[in-house]
Every structure is written in structure tokens, then in C-alpha cells.
Structure 1
Amino acid sequence: MDALGRHFERLRARRWTLYFFGVADSQPRGLAASWCWDSFADVVIVRDATAASAFRAVLLPDTDLLNPQMVCWQFHGDPVTAIDTLLALPEPGSPGAPVRASAAGPRCSVPLGWPRPQILPPEDESAGDRS
């Protein structure tokens, strides 16, 4: 398993919700993962082996986690660094946690033309550890 596969296994073990765009057991067109806090959601969207976006979305009514209106932090780069950087963010409400909301950048969404995702929710949604 490559580094990106190991990172997604880590997210799965930590009870993140996973999204597979295409067939999950073959080569999906893209991947995403999310973790929801009370008022925020941490999200990573992987476009390919070299391009990903990670962001902390502000949860407004009817927020689409994979196409948010507002974010308080965003990073665009390679998938492994995007996931590591997102996981290193302090929890919302903690010292150093990003709070200033701004409009989400164009890469903070699933590309047009991707199929509807297959969603793999956490096995036990009553417990979890984001980090």
C-alpha cells in the first residue's frame, strides 16, 4: 500500500467519513474524507496522486461539505502533505485554531463531472478520534 493509501486507512480507523468517486474497489476517479465538529468540518479532497485540497469548512445551514461556501483554513498541494497538515490543525476552540471565515476557494470543492460518491460512513458514529 502506498503512502496515500496508508493515510486513508488512518482516517478510516479514526472514524472519518470516506467518499469514493467512482468504484471504490477499483481505481476511483477521486477520493475525499471528512470529520465534522459542532460548527466546522475538516475535509480533504484528493484529485490525483499529486493534487489535493484540505480545508476547514464553516458549517452553515445546508452546507455541502464537498462544496462549502465558507472556510476558515485551506491548503492545496500533494495529498499526503494535505492530510498531514489538516490533521495537525488545533481543534476548533483551541488556542491557535483558525477562526477567520472567508469565501471558499475554487479548489475547495469536488470537480465538476465527477460521479456521485459512494459514501463509507464510520463504523461506529458514536465515538471517534479525529487526530
Structure 2
Amino acid sequence: MNANNQPADVPFPAEVDELLTAVARDGFTLRYCNGTHQPTLIVGTYDWGPFVDLVVIRDIDEVISARVPTTDVTDIFTPEVVVWLYASNAQQALRALLELPHPWHPDAPTTPAPAPASLHAPAARQSPVTVRPPSAWAARARQLRLGAALVTDTAEIPQRNGVNT
């Protein structure tokens, strides 16, 4: 995709392709608007239950990653509330998404804020949509990876009288 929202003549740089592959391997469902060969928009989601981690790729320099409370999601293409948002180029926004802690981690963001309009995907750019769900193994990869970090990080919390606080 290019700055004019037209399909790009060249693929993403190798680092962006690797990060997008890492997102897919981390269990995200990817939605390719206008097909997989020349998408005009890519939307990825990972459902935690009470939250959805979301990435919207409009262009290599226009990527938004977010964590959205599911109680406020009626359409993943137009979330109204976020608890975390990172807007940047593809490398930075995808890295930030991959590094976002487990929703139950003490450092996980929880303060709701209005979602910016830039997180919304215009209806005209949404179809046709090709949905690529993760494999059964990949669907659990993010939960296992971030869950392991959650256990490790919370095990380091000082104990009082033998009880974690």
C-alpha cells in the first residue's frame, strides 16, 4: 500500500514482513481487505476475552496498534474505546504490539480512552475481505508466551509473610 491508499508496486521491506509474520505466528487473525495479493488495508486481531489486541495497517508508515475492551467492541473496524494505543510506522507499531504485556500483567494498560478516528477502517476499504485465522497452535502462542512472562514477572514480586502481594 502506498500513501495514496493504492496497492504498492513493491512488497513490504523484509523487516516488516518478518514482523507481520511474527504477529501471525503469535495467533492473530489477519483480515486482508481487497485480497491478500494487493491489500488496501490489513487488520489483525487477537481476542483475550475481555480485550482484543488490534493492529490496523494502512501503509508502511501508517500503522496503529491498540488494545480494546471487548465490552465496547461492536465492530473491530470501528472500535470506540481503547486502553492502549501506539501509532507509528510498521516496524515500531508491530514491535510495540508484540511487546504489549498480557492483559493481567501488573504493567498492562487498563485506563479507557476514546479511540481516535484514525483507528477506524472506512467501510469502502473493508471489502472484499480475506480472513486468515491462525492455526490451532498459533492461536495459543501469544497466550502462552505472554502468560509465561506474566508468571515470571509476578513471581518476582516481593512476598510478605510467605504470601504474594
Equivalent of residue 6 in structure 1, options 8, 13, 18: 18
| Residue ranges of structure 1 left out of the alignment (5+ in a row) | none
CA contact under 8 A between 2:52 and 2:69: conserved in structure 1? yes
**Contact map agreement 1:51 1:79 (CA 8 A) in 2:** yes
State the alpha-carbon separation in 2 of the partners of residues 113 and 15 from structure 1. Answer: 27
Please provide the CA RMSD for this pair: 1.9
Q: Assess, with a 3 A threshold, how the Cα gap between structure 1 residues 77 and 61 changes in structure 2: closer, same or farther.
A: closer
2:101 aligned with 1:101, yes or no?
A: no
CA displacement, residues 3-38 of structure 1 (integer Å, 9 cap, x when unaligned): 2211121122222100101121x2111112111112
Over the matched positions of the two proteins, sequence identity in percent amounts to 24
**Structure with greater strand percent:** 1
Q: How many residues align?
A: 130
Corresponding position of 1:49: 60
2:98 pairs with 1:82: no
Larger relative contact order (CA 8 Å, sep ≥ 6): 1
CA distance in 2, matches of 1:104, 1:91: 20
Tell whether the 8 Å contact from 1:92 to 1:98 is kept in structure 2 after alignment: yes
Distance 1:33 1:108 in 2: 12
Distance in 1, matches of 2:42 and 2:73, equals 22
Which residue identity lines up with residue 33 of structure 1 in the other structure?
G
| Aligned mate of 2:30, from 7, 14, 18 | 18
TM-score (norm 2): 0.72
Q: Which has the larger radius of gyration?
A: 2
Structure 1 residue 123, shift from structure 2 partner:
1.9
Query: 5 Å matches for 1:106-121?
Result: 106-116=117-127, 117-121=129-133
Higher mean alpha-carbon deviation, 61-70 vs 84-93, is at 61-70
Mapped to 2, the partners of 1:15 and 1:86 lie a distance apart of: 12
Distance in 1, matches of 2:58 and 2:21, equals 17
Please identify, of 54-63 and 40-49, the stretch whose mean Cα deviation from structure 2 is larger.
Answer: 54-63
